[in-house]
Amino acid sequence: MVDMVKVLVAKKEAVYATDAAPTVGANAIITRNFSSKAVEVDRLNRNLDSGSFGATPDAPSNERQTLAYEVEMAGSGAAGTAPAWMELLEACGMAAPAETEDTDAVQRFAAASATKSSLTQHHWIGDQRRKAVGCRGNFSINWSANAYPFIQFNFIGMIPEATPFDVNVPGAADISRWIEPFEVNKANSLLALDGFACITRSLQIDANIDLTMRSLIGARYVHLGNHRATGRLSVEAPSIATKDYLNTLRKGDRVALTATNGTVAGNIVELGCAKTQILDITDREENGKLMWDMDLLLTIEAGQDDLIITAK
């Protein structure tokens, strides 16, 4: 029998799909809601006429591994040093963070022409180790009141030829890179849309990356294509006399979205998009209050500025 004890390690690859040899001592990830499919395949069926009723055998094709998990969105503990989750975001189409010593680490999507990053990820279920290389993924960010902020990752990786699965006891993981985030609430957090500080229930941002497994003659890889970042913002509806978001929607204006969580240097995270469009507003009642659920589109203006993440 195998115990459901889960350990994950991930490390940026120097060469695509070449095992970067992550270790529990240097590359452990604190996850929640972790799930995986150690082997996922398409089915190749010849559909031959056999002269009899019944199934004819098919064959596995285009094998890969999928991983899904959440990580908490806290700082690194030191201003100017990127949090560990920024390395994971690099494998989801974002550029390496630009670090300014003792100040901040700033991350945005990589340019279309840039070489895309990838990860080697090893995970254990009990004493079963499963390996994946060339991992690339998609992500969404969730900040909800009275909860910890987190990022949801969904990765596709390739199964290496040599020893992809074995019996291996991982040992004790060093998780010192991961610090506790601040709860999203009035004391720790602020969100503004078009300069107005909203009374906010939640913000979710989805990268919506075109993520596909490409298996061709002469090439096989996980492809990161275009993205279309969208948001879902739930707020108490302000007085129209104070802030008229309905008119903003009607005019198609692009406005600034900024969100900050954390109050101590080294554990402050900011999200921003200078040119955000409101696509839809839906009325909802909550405790006798009118709530607005807003669908947002995070657009580009000058380069890769549709989503800027800052840890400081």
Selection from 101, 103, 105 nearest residue 87 by Cα: 105
Confidence at residue 183, expressed as pLDDT on a 0 to 100 scale: 98
What band does 50 get if pLDDT is binned at 50, 70 and 90? Answer: confident
Is pTM beyond 0.85 here? yes
pLDDT on residue 277: 98
Residue 56 has a pLDDT of 85
pLDDT of res. 55: 87
According to the model, what pLDDT value does residue 96 have? Answer: 98
Position 4 confidence tier, pLDDT thresholds 50, 70, 90: confident
Integer CA distances (angstroms), 178 to 31, 74, 77, 84, in order = 10, 8, 8, 7
Q: What is the pLDDT of residue 32?
A: 96
Closest among 19, 140, 13 to 68, alpha carbons compared: 140
The radius of gyration computed from the CA coordinates of the chain, to the nearest angstrom, equals 22
- Which positions ≥6 away from 156 have C-beta within 8 Å? 64, 65, 66, 135, 136, 137, 211, 213, 222
Handedness of CA 86, 83, 270, 74 (dihedral sign): positive
Beta bridge partners of 131: 122
SS3 140: strand
Q: How confident is the model at residue 302 (pLDDT cuts 50, 70, 90)?
A: confident
Q: What is the mean pLDDT of residues 249-258?
A: 98
Q: Among 96, 121, 105, 266, which residue's Cα sits nearest to residue 181?
A: 266
Question: How far apart, in whole angstroms, are the C-alpha atoms of residue 86 and residue 223?
Answer: 19
248: left (phi over 0), alpha (psi -120 to 50) or beta: alpha
Confidence of residue 123 (pLDDT cuts 50, 70, 90): very high
Is the model's pLDDT at 1 over the cut of 70? Answer: no
Domain ranges of the chain: 6-42+61-311
Across 102-106, 169-173, 238-242, least confident range: 169-173
The pLDDT of residue 46 is 85
CB 98 within 8 A of CB 110: no
